[in-house]
Amino acid sequence: MPSTRLFSCSRAWPWVLAVALFGFLAARPAAAADVCFYEHANFAGWQVCAPAGAVVSRLAPDDNDQFSSVRVPPGLAVTFCEHINFGGRCQTVTSDSAFLGNWWNDRISSFRITGGRVFRRFSDDGDGGIESYVPANGKVCFFEHANYQGRFFCARRGTQQPSLVYNGWNDIISSIQVGPGASVEVCEHVGFGGRCRSFHSSRPFVGDRWNDVISSFAVQ
């Protein structure tokens, strides 16, 4: 069985400048729903795995330009690029690839994972259906625009994020998807300071009071 690199805080935090899934930074077993990159063709060698919503703008030095194959679970897509910060040539893959090809072999420096099961839901005011990402059990997903649009990241139950200042997400969240068995408390200041509010269900718009003011959160 290949060994798995899990982006633990001690290994990757100095190098991963924009990982959008905060709970993912802690070491954990690779899940069946993760996208996994492999060192060699045919899914051999060590692997680096990440869940839906992960945004990695700079791979750690030991992982940079090392991938030769990738497994992509149904419903997910991974976009990888040849340079850090999603620069240079990029390609999106939606299924397993036992060999990334001569051009992409050992050339990936950044990637982002999108997708998830899509369903039709209706806004509270009856304005019609909204296509949206559905978080897995125990997860909460945060979106930069209303109606679950734009960039997003997800966090697992038990994740506490005392500051969004240094990762590009401070004061820009506009909608929240709450998965089964989860809830989230959001606060207007870092360190869970200022006014806080709990959401126990999804919100296509967090409201004027909370739009673009969230600076910390805890998923419960």
- Give tens-digit pLDDT for 190-207: 999 999 999 998 888 999
pTM of the model: 0.47
Compute the distance between CA of residue 56 and CA of residue 12 in angstroms, rounded to an integer.
10
Exposed e or buried b per residue across 49-63, where buried means at least 16 C-beta atoms within 10 angstroms of its C-beta:
bbbbbbbbbbbbeeb
Structure tokens at 117: 């099961």
Mean pLDDT for 26-43 is: 73
- Give tens-digit pLDDT for 128-159: 333 344 566 788 888 888 877 777 778 888 88
66 pLDDT more than 90: yes
Measured CA distances, 17 to 131, 184, 198 (Å): 30, 24, 28
Structure tokens at 197: 């509010």
81 pLDDT more than 70: yes
Query: How many CA atoms does the CB half-sphere of 91 hold within 13 Å?
Result: 14
Going from the N-terminus, what domains does the chain have, and what CATH number goes with each?
4-115 (2.60.20.10), 118-219 (2.60.20.10)
